[in-house]
Amino acid sequence: MDAESLKEFFAPFGAVEVKRLFSGHGIYADGLCFAVEMRGEIRLRGDASVAAQYEAAGARHWVYERENGRKGSMPYWTLPETAHDDSDELVQWCRIALSAARAAAAEKSGTPIKRRTVSNKK
């Protein structure tokens, strides 16, 4: 996907900024990377507090094999299939991902934040 296609895809969620990232793109809202696109696959930011929601929706955690043979992981899950064709569901998952990105940024900066519970329920 190119940057313009990604902006169009995420339009129901709102205006996003798309930047080149490795062999794909980073998708940003409010200055935070909440999603990535790699080789045509969209992955949303997550953390332990929402992992079960992603897994229940059939999303896969980004896991890779390191050079030493050990497994590593990134804090991203594939976009649930149903969100590809349902803009309301896409918006809900994007809100969850942006909330996780905000929490990660706050943790990195040492600034405590009060997390709002975001549901993917309509």
Q: How many angstroms separate the CA atoms of 27 and 33, rounded?
A: 6
pLDDT at 118: 55
**How many Cα atoms are found within 13 Å in the side-chain-facing hemisphere of 7?**
8
Tell me the C-alpha to C-alpha distance, in Å, between residue 17 and each of 7, 8, 42, 51, 84.
Answer: 7, 11, 15, 25, 19
| pLDDT for residue 119 is more than 70 | no
Quote the pLDDT of residue 112: 59
Single pTM value for the model: 0.84
| Residue 3 pLDDT > 70 | yes
Give how far the C-alpha of residue 110 lies from the chain's centroid of Cα atoms, to the nearest Å.
22
Q: Note the pLDDT tens digit of each residue in 26-73.
A: 999 999 999 999 999 999 999 999 999 999 999 999 988 888 888 988
Distance CA 104, CA 122 (A): 25
pLDDT attached to residue 23: 87
Q: Where are the domains of the chain?
A: 3-109
Return the higher-pLDDT residue of 107 and 50: 50
Q: How far is CA 51 from the centre of its chain?
A: 12
Residue 110 — pLDDT band, cuts 50, 70, 90?
Answer: confident
Q: Which CATH number fits domain 3-109: 3.20.20.480, 3.40.50.300, 3.30.1460.30, 3.30.565.10?
A: 3.30.1460.30
Going by pLDDT thresholds of 50, 70 and 90, the confidence category of residue 114 is: low
In sequence order, the 6+-apart residues with CB closer than 8 A to the CB of 86 are: none
pLDDT value at residue 64: 87
Inter-CA distances, 12 with 79, 83, 84, 92, 95, Å: 15, 11, 12, 10, 11
